[in-house]
Amino acid sequence: MQIELPTNRPAIMGILNVTPDSFSDGGLFFEPEVAIERGHQMMEQGADIIDVGGESTRPGAKPVFVEEELKRVLPVILALAKLGVTISIDTTKPEIANAAISAGARIVNDVSGLRDPAMIEVCVETGCTVCIMHMQGKPATMQSNPLYGDVVRDVKEYLLHAATVAEKAGVAKDQIWIDPGIGFGKTVENNCEILKRLDEFVRLGYPVLVGASRKSFLGKILGSKSNPLPADQRLEATLAAQVIAQLKGARILRVHDVLPAKRAGMVCAAIMNT
């Protein structure tokens, strides 16, 4: 099941965190009815994909058991899939990915970058599209002391290796997306360098997804490392990062604020396609 991506502008992936503790919107869409309503709203605002997640990955977030994660995401996926919108499941657990695909999701968004071989099996067996994201370490500790030689080279190497392993296992090449994992075990400088050199990821030949929306490096640039601008005030910063990503060739943008992101993406595309 290959996902048709727009060719003249990036696809907008709207974030739907069915969690009590996500870093910028935790608790806002925790009730199934509210989450489903939010999904509708994002569709109306022009989301091409809705990324449903039931476990926060912010540094220090509490792990969620399979049963609880299923309870959070399944009713939302079932309801939104009926409306025909493309759904991705943001999870690192193969059991959740499998159940989500049976409920109608078509993309697995794995922030652990296919570290679990069982996740690769789910992708092969279901024929879903997979987004392989890079993260240094684990969410609990990833921001304590991120270290790289050349961050772009190191992250590219990881993604290419993970994609090759997936392909050898039977995942079709055109069903693999890659994501450098903005904010996942990365300093402010690491994130900036990745965005500035995003074209190097694009040249690997897989659609590149970028998730810079409201991330803390933006707050640190606009405030300070010890006193970042709060997450709910990072829209302009998000759009600036998004436009850079788009100019450098990102095909999918993962965002909280669908309408502004869609509009910015369309204007950027109209200028670049002139």
Size of the site for ligand HH2 (CB under 6 A): 21
Q: Does 254 bind ligand HH2 (CB under 6 A)?
A: yes
| Cβ distance to ligand HH2 smaller for residue 39 or 211 | 211
Encoded tokens for 18? 């069915």
Residue with tokens 């590149």: 208
Smallest CA-to-CA distance from 123 within 137, 148, 106, 139 is with 106
* Window 136-165: residues binding ligand HH2 (CB under 6 A): none
Q: How far is CA 131 from CA 82, 99, 210, in A?
A: 23, 17, 11
Phi, psi for residue 45 in degrees, rounded to 5: -80, -5
> Which listed residue (24, 92, 190, 191) binds ligand HH2 by CB under 6 A?
24
Point out the catalytic residue in the list 38, 215, 251, 262. 215
What angle (nearest 5°) sits at the alpha carbon of residue 89, between those of residues 178 and 255? Answer: 65
Query: Rule CB under 6 A: which of 97-126 touch ligand HH2?
Result: 109, 111
172-211 footprint of ligand HH2 as x/- string (CB under 6 A): -------x-xx--------------------------x-x
**Pairing of β 252-255 and β 176-179:** unpaired
Binding mask 48-67 toward ligand HH2 (x if CB under 6 A, else -) reads -----x--xxx---------
Q: Which is nearer to ligand HH2, 175 or 270 (CB)?
A: 175
Distance CA 102, CA 107 (A): 11
Task: Pick between residue 113 and residue 273 the one whose CB is nearest to ligand HH2.
Answer: 113
CA–CA distance, 241 with 42 (Å, rounded to integer): 21
Alpha-carbon distance of 235 to 258, in angstroms, equals 11
Give the residues lining the site for ligand HH2 (CB under 6 A).
15, 17, 19, 22-24, 53, 56-58, 90, 109, 111, 131, 133, 179, 181-182, 209, 211, 254
Which residues are known to be catalytic? 215, 254
